[in-house]
Amino acid sequence: YVIKVIAQTIQLLYTMLKIDQPSYILLQNPPGLPSIAVAWIACLFWRSKLIIDWHNYGYTIMSMNLGRNHLLVQIAKWYEKLFGRLSDYNLCVTNAMKEDLWVNCNIKAVTMYDKPASYFKETPLELQHRLYMKLSILRKSCFCSTESVGWKAERSAFTEVDEKNGHVIKTRGRPALLISSTSWTGLETNSSFLSSPDYEQYINEGIKLPSLVCVITGKGPLKDYYNGLINKLHFKHIQICTPWLEAEDYPLLLGSADLGVCLHKSSSGLDLPMKVVDMFGCSLPVCAVYFECLHELVKHDENGLIFRDSNELAEQLKMLFLGFPTLEGKLHNFRKNLRASKQLRWDESWDQTGCLVTPGTHMQNLLPVLLKGHFGEDI
């Protein structure tokens, strides 16, 4: 580990000293070891300003494997605070992190929430159908129709082409499509999808609920472990699949889904899941597992719901999907609220705050617009 850090330090410093002299160096943290120290040294060499964009703390992520009291974690915490204080300006992703940086690190930061890119939006029905058919052809069984159809029919589990007029329509009795994006690490409580038979029990009791297709995207170290658990399940009304999607298909699937489920838990409790930001960009309501500052993004009972365990999630799914598909109820209201919110996109957010760097425009001409209002004479 030490050899790796030393090698990365030399490589990164060599690369940064070869670039043209910058006025500002903007660094996202984490990862901050060794990039914060290297960026600070480069700023000394170039007489540049260092701006750190705090998305989380690296030492809290490290502590998930080693424990909070491990020597390496304590060293990483000291390092992050020390070099963080040596920065000139700081951005962060939540007000909770802004307060923590000030109280515990004496670092003054500006909150700049993550925003979705412009291509995260609701997917038109015809494009949904093409996506489902593509995934069906790729043998993603959860997208295939379970009913036998004629050889001329074009049908997925969710959509079909009307043979009379050629228009795409939603299939009758279609399942509800849930989507969750995960990196398959300890930061996600994936067992929430797997450990409770409550939703199945509700259907068996005669409650009018749809079958569920739960799509968990992404890849990571625990994917094989959870796939093993999934293969042992014998749900009758719930189908779980874990495809790896092409980059252009992921936003299309988000824009086609009925509900997003976020299983992310912050290592620090101070950052927000980008996957929910993208879901909201698609006007997709979300059920998200609770952690401390999640309320800064998910407004309970307004644009989604917050749950604490798998049983509570099952209760929420029952409430949201009762009588599905319907244009009434909370699920529909959440989507209406998201559409009405007209939230800023990533480029619009940066442009509004004066941070968007456009060709031919130097950052030093734009950045003070953001910073002066927050730092006063410090600028």
Per-residue pLDDT tens over the stretch 140-152: 567 776 665 554 5
Predicted confidence (pLDDT) at residue 212 exceeds the cutoff of 70: yes
Other Cβ atoms within 10 Å of 361 Cβ, number = 10
Is a pLDDT exceeding 50 seen at residue 364? no
Ranges of each domain in the chain: 1-115+346-369, 173-341
pLDDT at 229: 77
Question: Residue 79 has which token pair?
Answer: 């390092």
Packing angle between helix 2-18 and helix 35-46, nearest 10 degrees? 30
Q: Greater confidence, 15 or 193?
A: 15
Distance CA 362, CA 165 (A): 55
Q: Which long-range contacts (CB under 8 A, 24 or more apart) does 100-105 make?
A: 100/268, 100/270, 101/54, 105/81
For residue range 22-79, list pLDDT tens digits in order: 888 989 998 888 999 999 999 999 999 999 999 999 999 899 888 899 998 999 999 9
pLDDT-derived band at 276 (thresholds 50, 70, 90) equals: very high
CATH for the 173-341 domain, from 3.40.50.2000, 3.50.50.60, 3.40.50.2300, 3.40.50.800: 3.40.50.2000
CATH number of the domain at 1-115+346-369, please?
Answer: 3.40.50.2000
Rounded distance between C-alpha atoms, residue 56 and residue 64, angstroms: 13
- 8 Å CB contact between 325 and 174: yes
* pLDDT (average), residues 188-195: 56
- CA–CA dist 340, 96 (Å, integer): 26
- Asked if 267 and 62 touch (Cβ cutoff 8 Å), the reply is no
Average pLDDT across the chain, whole number: 83
Query: 100: how many CB neighbours lie within 10 A of its CB?
Result: 20
Q: How far apart are CA 224 and CA 155, in angstroms?
A: 31
The Cα–Cα gap between 39 and 146 comes to 56
Asked if domains 1-115+346-369 and 173-341 share a fold, the reply is yes
pTM to 2 decimal places: 0.83
User: What confidence tens digit (pLDDT) does each residue in 218-231 have?
Assistant: 777 777 777 777 77
- Tell me: pLDDT of 332 over 70: yes
